[in-house]
């Protein structure tokens, strides 16, 4: 007897035997179909849909955590978006003077923006404030300025070099993000938004 062969009862007519064989074949096809559908549903359930990124609305504060290389957009006290950032080549400590490649620390304001800067878009941090200027005068130094949140350099063309910029601190004291992130920040942060820069 072959595997799957249907055995008709003794004395059954050839028509009845054929009907039984057809019924068994139909039953097997149905079982295979049901199992296939269930397997597909289970796999789809395991994979799930990719999380949808909701569009960020206007935010009321920006917080930078230098030691963690993070920048957060805050709305009503909650973090609505977080980005990995690059800082200057000397990231530790508060900015003291022009050329020290440090990012300032403290409370400032994002007060104006430049859509056509040398780096992909830029939003200005209101450094130096009155305290920074007084300290620089005391030290007889130039406090520097033009600290920005910005994207990648516009002159970068090589994908390999762009990848290098994602892995290291490379600015002169500014806060850098990826270009697509800068687009999102540009829309969410209006001029006059406070920024707190933590060590």
**pLDDT greater than 90 at residue 40:** no
Neighbouring residues of 59: CB distance < 8 A, sequence distance ≥ 6: 73, 74, 75, 80, 81, 188, 189, 193
Mean pLDDT of 158-163: 78
Distance CA 147, CA 171 (A): 10
How far apart, in whole angstroms, are the C-alpha atoms of residue 87 and residue 148?
A: 11
Least confident of 13-17, 73-77, 93-97, 133-137: 13-17
Q: Of 152, 79, 145, 88, nearest to 120 (Cα)?
A: 152
pLDDT on residue 45: 46
Instruction: Assess whether pLDDT exceeds 50 at residue 50.
Output: no
Q: Tokens for 41? A: 């549903």
Backbone angles phi, psi at 188, to 5 degrees: -85, -25
Q: Tell me if the pTM is above 0.85.
A: no
């Amino acid at each position: 007897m072959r595997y799957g062969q249907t055995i008709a009862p003794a004395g059954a007519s050839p028509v009845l035997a054929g009907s039984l064989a057809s019924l068994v074949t139909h039953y097997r096809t149905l079982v295979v179909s049901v199992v296939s559908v269930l397997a597909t549903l289970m796999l789809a359930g395991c994979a799930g849909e990719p999380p949808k990124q909701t569009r960020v609305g206007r935010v009321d504060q920006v917080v930078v955590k230098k030691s963690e290389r993070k920048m957060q957009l805050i709305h009503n006290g909650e973090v609505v978006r977080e980005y990995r950032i690059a800082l200057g080549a000397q990231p530790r400590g508060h900015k003291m003077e022009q050329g020290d490649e440090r990012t300032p620390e403290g409370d400032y304001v994002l007060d104006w923006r430049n859509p056509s800067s040398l780096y992909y878009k830029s939003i200005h941090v209101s450094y130096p404030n009155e305290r920074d200027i007084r300290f620089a005068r005391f030290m007889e130094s130039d406090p520097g300025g033009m600290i920005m949140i910005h994207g990648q350099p516009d002159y970068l063309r090589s994908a390999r070099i762009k990848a290098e910029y994602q892995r290291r601190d490379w600015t002169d004291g500014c806060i850098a993000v990826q270009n697509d992130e800068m687009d999102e920040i540009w829309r969410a942060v209006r001029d006059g938004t406070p920024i707190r820069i933590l060590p």
